Structure 1
Amino acid sequence: MDLHSHSTASDGILSPEQLVSRAKSRGVSLFALTDHDTVGGIAEAQRTGDRLGIDVVAGIEFSSLWGRRSVHVVGLNVDPQSESLRQAIVLREHLRQERAERIAGQLEKRGFHGALEGGRAQAGEAVLGRPHFARWLVEAGHVEDMSRAFKRYLGAGKVGDVRVEWPQMAETIETIHAAGGSAVLAHPLKYGLTRTQLLRLLGAFLEEGGDAVELLCGRQNPVQTRELRNLLLAAAETAGKPPPHCSLGSDFHQPEQPWRELGCVWLPTDVEPVWNLWHTLHREQRSQTSLP
């Protein structure tokens, strides 16, 4: 299973077809394409999945805010044709374009001339984001690799770290539900939160209607995974909610990153997997259909 990945429709470097083919070769049987703020690659991914015999779930990773802090919410099993989803994507495309222009302006001030055109060339038809600027910086010879591009210019607190007023987390959850999907809090361990802050985030996510939490995102320390599970149980108890379902994924963007390779992690057997939500929904729909 791998329910978090990115293609050339956003900031990955493999096409949707190549990505699904790679997932198949890695033994992945249930796969979700969750590009940033777009479902542009879903049709190609699902066609490839049908051809190769791999179940491809329509997904998306939405940028959002929890208060003033940026967080990501993954929508799984969404309807790509949903009007609610379309409106949310159009809004984020506008916000991303504004951010890209501001990032390019900041890089220009640092002497990196042609940043906007270079980033756009890297993005192609995808919405321009920081990884595209990072790839341009590498290609133009300004830095040795993408890691240094983020460390010096594009990471948190750097010149290219431009704040965006994304929709709030609660609104994002509502959008995903309106599209028939399950809302999943993405990579909670990657926000640099203290234990207390993380507990508050998990609690807020559940209280606002979130369905599942990404227990594993790429390879991580088993101690961290156990601690996150404990925090999930504590947050659910405080919120008066049942323990949330759990999701997992590699957050794959490119090859040659074994810690983010497709299918590199597995859920513990004693947690409720997020895909049970879809099976439950389908059973309920069949039951309602069969009522006299």
Structure 2
Amino acid sequence: MSHDNEKLSVIYDLHSYTKASDGDLTPLELVDRAVLMGVDVLTITDHDTVNGILPAWQYINEKSKPLTLIAGVEISTIWEKIEIHIVGLNINLDANCLKHLLEMQTARRNLRAEKIGYKLEKFGIPDTWQNAKAYAAGGQVTRSHFARYIMDYAKQKSIGQVFKKYLTRGKPGYVPADWCKLDEAIDVIHQAGGVAVLAHPGRYSLSAKWQKRLVLYFKQQQGDAIEIAQCQQLSDERKNLTELARLHDLYASVGSDFHRPCAWTELGRNLWLPSGVTPIWQTWQ
């Protein structure tokens, strides 16, 4: 396989998070780290919010940072009772349809979080909803914030361990998601002038057959691209996703899914695209 895009002078990372949702860095800190890591084009894609984008834009402009920031968001959706994430790239933040959907998503998120808090308190972990909000510090409350609080309170070794013990299906704090439908997210992204990307298709624990069904449905709903390249993937994943992109005439996107500095995820790392696919950024150039 040819690693054509490794040789490109421009490094793109179109999937990252700030403290506006469950990232560890402020928008300004994320910008600084992207510059440090040599990223040229970055997208902030916080969960169901765009609150991190304007501060980052202002900082880039005021400090003349050598970074192009593309407005983005990651929208949580439901398809076949499975939570699927759709990234919107190059969106218009002032689009009323986008504002309305994100307001609805935030309401759904908070209602779910209150239910999680109630269940965990019944299980014997006190003040979980209040502490999750405190850990979010004004950002979108996610299950990661519950996990961080529980990890500290119950002296667990890792967030992953907390999820398995408390927050996944069948566990004390599990509450099923009630997100918008996948096709609704795609439609709103398009109305907001953006392109819709199927985020990290390899992370939904789907069989090869179900993954193909998902990509086909995404294409049928006028989805634009799939995220082919991430920092860390199974050996054949990039190749298989490339084949699906070519089969369904979808653009290719890249993204670290960066939440915090760690050993396995870093901004701009290992985000080359195989030959035979068309990069998503060609749609806005």
Name the amino acid aligned to 2:89: L
Offset, 1:178: 0.6
1:268 partnered with 2:274: yes
1:215 partnered with 2:221: no
SS at 2:146 equivalent: helix
Distance 1:195 1:173 in 2: 23
1:44 partnered with 2:50: no
Kindly report the root-mean-square deviation, in angstroms, between the aligned alpha carbons of the 2 structures: 1.3
Identity among equivalent positions (%) equals 38
Name the amino acid aligned to 1:199: K
SS at 2:282 equivalent: helix
1:175 partnered with 2:188: yes
Deviations 1:212-256 (A, max 9, x none): 00012331133121122223334x1xxxxxx21000111011112
SS at 2:284 equivalent: helix
Change (3 A) 1:15 1:64: same
1:54 partnered with 2:67: yes
SS at 2:87 equivalent: strand
Distance 2:148 2:74 in 1: 21
Deviations 1:62-108 (A, max 9, x none): 00111322100000000111101100010001000100011111111
Offset, 1:48: 2.6
Name the amino acid aligned to 1:202: V
Offset, 1:157: 4.2
Gaps of 5+ in 1: 237-242, 280-292
Matched residue, 1:290: none
When normalised by structure 1's length, the TM-score is 0.89
Q: Identify the match of residue 209 of structure 2 among 196, 200, 216.
A: 196
Matched residue, 1:286: none
Distance 2:83 2:268 in 1: 27
1:22-41 superposed matches below 5 A: 22-41=33-52
Matched residue, 1:259: 264
Larger RCO (alpha carbons 8 Å, 6+ apart): 2
- Kindly indicate which of the two structures has a greater share of residues assigned to helix: 1
1:160 partnered with 2:155: no
Name the amino acid aligned to 1:271: V
Q: Identify the match of residue 126 of structure 2 among 113, 117, 127.
A: 113
Name the amino acid aligned to 2:251: H
Contact 1:138 1:149 in 2 (8 A): yes
Distance 2:161 2:76 in 1: 24
Contact 1:36 1:63 in 2 (8 A): yes
Deviations 1:2-52 (A, max 9, x none): 000010000001000100110110000010000000000100111233321
Deviations 1:108-143 (A, max 9, x none): 122101111111110111121101011111222442
Distance 2:57 2:274 in 1: 27
SS at 1:210 equivalent: coil
When normalised by structure 2's length, the TM-score is 0.91
Gaps of 5+ in 2: 1-11
